[in-house]
Chains A and B, each alone.
Chain A
């Protein structure tokens, strides 16, 4: 009997524009991962085509991976790749 927890998810840039809103509320069982949250968002906002595009996620203003386990009170954001330039610049010293 898992407890359900609600998270507010912020959208940015093209995701915000496509969704027509800058936030969504997702309710998930306790102990859910970011991957589960993304799957729930894909159902809630099919127009975002979240399963077909690169997407980054942050919790409490830091990047997270899909296996991150959500904690009550986490501030979640999802967004497209940032507007980087075209130069690749690897590990310079």
Chain B
């Protein structure tokens, strides 16, 4: 494996499942699962379905790559037979149908946790990794914010404080 092919990477270049799968390929692994998150052409909003023109992704790159590597460590704790994990996320302008994130997990055998680990990787990424997307429509734009994670929110009410 060449040194310029990182396992955890934020990039402005197009992503491919073949690329991410090749980063986790090892001679002792007979199983690889992959996941791709792709830009959807429509979004459900309070005002009904809206057609998306394109998405703009932004990341805190240094922190995002560190946290993606942390997710890889968490996966090895939970599924010790996992050999390699790779998570690649694209930033910048993405068109409908293009992958924004690709993930691959390799294990010796398919029963060694590769399916579960791949699911875990995308859910953890969406919960903690500092990446944001801005939906752009023909008549406007909005930053998407995920559900607040109380343990990360500086504004979270502390302990028993009631918020009326």
A61 to B116, CA, bound (A): 28
From B143, B144, B153, contact of A54 by CB (8 A): B153
Interface residues in A58-83 (C-beta closer than 8 Å to B):
58, 61-63, 65-66, 77, 79-83
- Interface residues on chain A, size class: 35 or more
Q: Is the CB of B155 within 8 A of A81?
A: no
Q: Is the CB of A83 within 8 A of B131?
A: yes
Q: Is the CB of B60 within 8 A of A10?
A: yes
A81 to B154, CA, bound (A): 11
Q: A82-B128, A84-B127, A85-B126 are in contact. Are A38 and B60 (CB under 8 A)?
A: no
Q: A79-B130, A79-B132, A84-B127 are in contact. Are A14 and B143 (CB under 8 A)?
A: yes
Tell me the nearest residue of chain B to A84, going by C-beta.
B146
Secondary structure type dominating chain B contacts: mixed
Chain B residues closer than 8 Å to A10, beta-carbon distance:
60
Tell me the nearest residue of chain B to A17, going by C-beta.
B143
B59-72 CB mask vs A (1 if < 8 Å, else 0) is 01011001000000
Chain B residues closer than 8 Å to A3, beta-carbon distance:
none
Nearest CB on B from A35, distance (A) = 7
Residues of A within 8 A of B (CB): 10, 12-14, 16-17, 34-35, 38, 51, 53-58, 61-63, 65-66, 77, 79-89, 92-93
